[in-house]
Amino acid sequence: DSRRVGRAAVPPPSPPAAVSQVTVRDALNQALDEELERDERVFLLGEEVAQYDGAYKISRGLWKKYGDKRVVDTPISEMGFAGIAVGAAMAGLRPVCEFMTFNFSMQAIDQVINSAAKTCYMSAGSIAVPVVFRGPNGASAGVGAQHSQCFAAWYGHCPGLKVVSPWSSEDAKGLLKASIRDDNPVVMLENELLYGVPFEMSEQAQSKEFVIPIGKAKIERQGTHVTLVAHSRPVGHCLEAAAVLSKEGVECEVINLRTIRPLDIETVEASVVKTNHLVTVEGGWPQFGVGAEICARIMEGPAFNYLDAPAVRVTGADVPMPYAKILEDNCLPQVKDIIFAVKKTLNI
């Protein structure tokens, strides 16, 4: 006993923070519930969000808890209910507008871009449009070309919007809460195949005040040989590829972008300065894509001088998504494609 021999007693180790497994679906539901409770100006609208609990059960239980005025079922008219959401935001409410898939947001793109994104600038800052457009983005499984497109590059192209793209449950909760509280229009691009996936969430991440700042990337794995940059589901593929490559002596640094606009290029630059190699990974098409933007920014900035090889992009195939499963798999970046790109970059 340290007290007996006169030394200062060593305090007992603090118990580890409680960590539990939470699916992305439940994390989104938790975020919506907490923000509806916190701010009476927040309301949800979209197809089947109320009585049916949401097409993907993201809004499960919220209609029963908050009623018709806070959780609103709409007709099948994206242009109509997106317009209602934008008008409500201009009038001082904070709507969360769900698209059943972002492919259907094409029906409402005039409202998203011309009505929401440009209004603050065109009104010299006098009209804020605090609206969140959220829903699944990119390819699911076996849903054909008209339901499989990634819109990160489309919406990331437009000034006036903020665009977030979560991977984990922590990302989903923290970014949705930050988006609802933001005074600008935010497009939140989720992934349908991640909804049922459980991730570890700390006690802190499950608190009511947990938010993730928009515009800040997260380093998911430290490494020294090559930087892998991804968003949404491909972050998981990058971590899998990094685990395989680690056994071969290659240590990958994996960056989860979290936000598409504004892009946290500083975190990517700092990593490239350290690793001297860059591979970008995304499910979208190659031309004018997120990876293309990252490569251009690196080339224009100070990190370019540290590159020991050309940056490489791993993307979806440059075709509309086929329906057949084997073709679909070959159109989307797989772990083997990332490993191949890393070895090509490192010349091994």
Q: Active-site residue numbers?
A: 78, 147
Burial 275-306 (b: 16+ CB within 10 A, else e): bbbbbbbbbbbeeebbbbbbbeebeeeebeee
276 phi/psi in degrees, rounded to 5: 70, 10
**Residues near 226 by beta carbon (within 8 Å), at least 6 away in sequence:** 250, 252, 253, 275, 277, 278, 279, 342, 345, 346
> In whole angstroms, how far apart are CA 14 and each of 1, 17, 20, 202, 204?
19, 9, 18, 15, 16
* Helix 335-346 and helix 234-246, axial crossing angle in degrees, nearest 10: 60
Give the H or E element holding residue 298.
Answer: helix 290-300
Q: How far apart are the first and last CA of the chain?
A: 56
Both tokens of 36, joined, read 């509806």
Structure tokens at 220: 């998911």
Go through the chain and tell me how many residues it has. 348
Helix (H, G, I), strand (E, B), or coil: what is residue 172? Answer: helix
